[in-house]
Amino acid sequence: MMVLDRQRMDPALYRDAMSRYAGHVQLVTTALGKERRGVTITAACSVSDSPATVLICLNNSNEKNDIFFNSGIFALNTLGADHQSLADAFSGKTQLTTDERFASGKFETLVTGAPVLSDALAAFDCRVIEIKQASTHNIIFGEVMGVRYSEPKPALLYMNRGYHAL
Ligand SMILES: Cc1cc2nc3c(=O)[nH]c(=O)nc-3n(C[C@H](O)[C@H](O)[C@H](O)COP(=O)(O)O)c2cc1C
């Protein structure tokens, strides 16, 4: 018997197509004990307003992301155009230590204890309600326990493999 394999989309072709997709840049943060971590992401969205729920997608092959899968909390910090250097710091582009990365912004805590960026366009302080593995990434669902938002200001988008202000 011959079994035909499903045709696989070429990852490079997929990434080329995705480069036309504008994503709002987010800084997702967490803390466990004395440890903190933040990662620049675009894979995040709202799921529901009742109960207020968001989701984020994080690479599960990077061991440094394990803290997100164990801490039970995260903050989704929506970045403004003035946060581009922060986005660079937390994407590993500049070889900074975790403390140096966090020193690039002002952080505080709201409800859960996850680091919240004080001047984020919006910040969603979440407790993890579900983690689903999807191949290379884990989808983390968070119930929003606290929010804060700033006066309207330009947003930081990522499109055509570069940052843009909207
Ligand atoms: C614009 C942009 C969007 C990104 N989106 C994601 C994402 O949605 N999920 C993810 O796991 N990593 C994403 N990354 C990659 C992480 O930021 C990066 O792998 C991580 O911070 C590695 O840094 P490290 O040196 O701390 O390991 C993105 C990076 C950039 C620059």
Mean pLDDT throughout 98-122?
Answer: 98
Asked if the bond preceding 51 is cis, omega within 30° of 0, the reply is yes
Domains of the chain with CATH codes? 24-165 (2.30.110.10)
Residue 64 Cβ < 6 Å to ligand 1: yes
Residue 68 Cβ < 6 Å to ligand 1: no
What pLDDT is recorded for position 28?
Answer: 99
Mean pLDDT of the chain: 96
Tens digits of per-residue pLDDT, 36-59?
999 999 999 999 999 999 999 999
Q: Which helix (H) or strand (E) holds 36?
A: strand 35-41
What pLDDT is recorded for position 6?
Answer: 67
What pLDDT is recorded for position 115?
Answer: 98
What pLDDT is recorded for position 4?
Answer: 63
Tens digits of per-residue pLDDT, 65-108?
999 999 999 999 999 999 999 999 999 998 899 999 999 999 99
- Dihedral over Cα of 98, 65, 42, 11: its sign: positive
By most ligand atoms within 8 Å of CB, the mutation choice from 21, 39, 94 for ligand 1 is: 39
Q: Long-range pairs for 92-99 at CB < 8 Å and ≥24 separation? A: 98/36, 98/37, 98/38
Write the DSSP symbol of residue 10.
P
Q: How confident is the model at residue 7 (pLDDT cuts 50, 70, 90)?
A: confident
DSSP 5-43: PPPPPPHHHHHHHHTTS-EE-EEEEEEETTEEEEEEES-
